[in-house]
Amino acid sequence: MADGRVDTKATWRAGPVSTALFERALGVIPGGVNSPVRAFGSVGGTPYFVERARGARVTDADGNEYLDYVQSWGASILGHAHPDVLAAISEAASRGTTFGAPTGQEVRLAETICEATGCELVRLVSSGTEATMTAIRVARAATGRTKIVKFAGCYHGHSDALLAAGGSGVATLGFPGSAGVPAGAVADTVVAPYNEIPPIDDTVACVIVEPVAANMGLVAPEPGFLAGLRAACDAAGALLVLDEVITGFRLGRGGAAAHLGIRGDLSTLGKVIGGGLPLAAVGGRRELMEQLAPVGPVYQAGTLSGNPLATAAGLAVTELLPPERFDDLAATVDVLAAGLREAISSAGLPVQIPVVRTLFGIFFGEEPVRDFDGAKQSAASGLYERFFRAMLARGVALAPSAYEVGFCSLAHTGSDVAQTVEAAELAAREVATAG
Ligand code: PMP
């Protein structure tokens, strides 16, 4: 359409309460949302406003219920409003919500993260953006170099240096980067295609990578890609930063690093480790992390860092995630992915449902996707947004963008999966027959 939004003659429409809230929101919040993809700009229509959520389901302000595969973009691995997590948060809240002083809880969460990931030291922050920004600063300080290498279609938050060729919302909006970022801020950012080993020389401070790319849809690293990066970094004296904001405590307790047998010098985590509250982390080897103030010369700080509610939630969630729980989640995702593949392809639509252990993606197209160009090609078919709306009309909430992945939770049951697959059969048929 002329305004860049897709045709909204959709089978799904937001109810009157959500619609009214969105109109009010547009009056006081840019685009009506506090994070761009939530606006439904690329899938069309008005977003549903959430009233409450429990387990695998969210309920919107009009009382419609959806089986939720967004799960707060991966933050809610146990499902929404897990009773143990709520109890931990409310017990912590009863003792005060923020102190700006150290607590025992943050030590316990840091110990949990170090033990699971092999990081020697970890610093807690409030968002993934802060974690990656800090990792880059530490890498530059430790190496005395300025250049950083990132991959097209990977998203590492919204700090200036990392927005070039970003996935997630940057890709959804079709932005090459962001206005307001001075040329100087990205002058030292080199963008390379995912799944290809870029030239790395002695001017490179670090290579930052999503070890499993999950912000351009789901793109698995090809065999040899991560090991090749590791070797190229070692040869050039550059650091390898694994951005595990999505994969940390999602592919397993040790994240993608443990699952794929790759060693990063620095790692960033977020989402799951905050138990649904604002918390993220940057960690790595002691001598690198001791670049950070107050030990070293790299400044980094945060009023709410290590917030007691967030650390309580993170501890409660990580305690409920022994290794076998990831096997359970992977088994659910396998059944779901097989069902979606069958449902969509038997309607005659070309589809790829990649799976990496506990993550799944949906690409419409004949060929498996291995990089950002492939992801863009798939998104350009326009099938994702039509399928998205047809699924929403049947009570299943997928991510409102083709450049995201599917997040299943441990609260999703076999019958939830069956209901999803049934919805997918009908939705795919509708999309296919509408031509
Ligand atoms: N890194 C990755 C891999 C992410 O997926 C995200 C957010 N989806 C971020 C960093 C930024 O995290 P946040 O939104 O908490 O700033």
Which pLDDT score is estimated for 171?
78
Task: Using the structure block, give the residue that is written with the tokens 């506090």.
Answer: 34
Full DSSP string of 363-432: EESSS---SHHHHHHHHHTSHHHHHHHHHHTTTEE--SSTTS-EE--TT--HHHHHHHHHHHHHHHHHHH
Report how far ligand 1's centroid is from the alpha carbon of 245 (Å): 6
Which residue has a Cα nearest atom 7 of ligand 1? Answer: 157
Which pLDDT score is estimated for 3?
42
The CATH class of the 84-319 domain is: alpha beta
Report how far ligand 1's centroid is from the alpha carbon of 85 (Å): 22
Which pLDDT score is estimated for 173?
78
What global pTM score does this model have? 0.96
Decide if 16-81+322-434 and 84-319 have a common fold.
no
Report how far ligand 1's centroid is from the alpha carbon of 336 (Å): 25
CB 266 within 8 A of CB 135: yes
CB 250 within 8 A of CB 231: no
The answer for 44, left when phi > 0, alpha when psi is -120 to 50, beta otherwise, is left
Element (H, E) at 57: strand 57-60
Out of 35, 38, 136, 155, give the residue to mutate to test ligand 1, the one with the largest number of ligand atoms within 8 Å of its CB. Answer: 155
Segments making up each domain of the chain, as ranges: 16-81+322-434, 84-319
Enzyme catalytic residues = 155, 243, 271
φ, ψ for residue 50, nearest 5 deg? -85, 135
Which CATH topology does 16-81+322-434 take? Answer: Aspartate Aminotransferase, domain 1 (3.90.1150)
Ligand 1 atom nearest to CA at 73: 8
What are the helix (H) ranges across 215-279? Answer: 225-236, 255-260
Out of 160, 244, 246, give the residue to mutate to test ligand 1, the one with the largest number of ligand atoms within 8 Å of its CB. Answer: 246
Q: Output the ligand 1 site: residues, CB below 6 A.
A: 73, 127-129, 132, 155-157, 168, 210, 215, 243, 245-246, 270, 280
Task: Using the structure block, give the residue that is written with the tokens 């302000």.
Answer: 61
φ, ψ for residue 59, nearest 5 deg? -120, 130
Q: What is the mean pLDDT of each run of 10 residues along the chain (435 residues)?
A: 40 93 98 96 94 98 98 98 98 98 98 98 98 98 98 96 84 80 91 97 98 98 98 98 98 98 98 98 98 98 98 98 98 98 98 98 98 97 96 97 98 98 97 88
Report how far ligand 1's centroid is from the alpha carbon of 268 (Å): 9
Tokens standing for 395? 């009570």
Which pLDDT score is estimated for 331?
98
Which residue has a Cα nearest atom 10 of ligand 1? Answer: 156
Which pLDDT score is estimated for 11?
72
Report how far ligand 1's centroid is from the alpha carbon of 305 (Å): 16
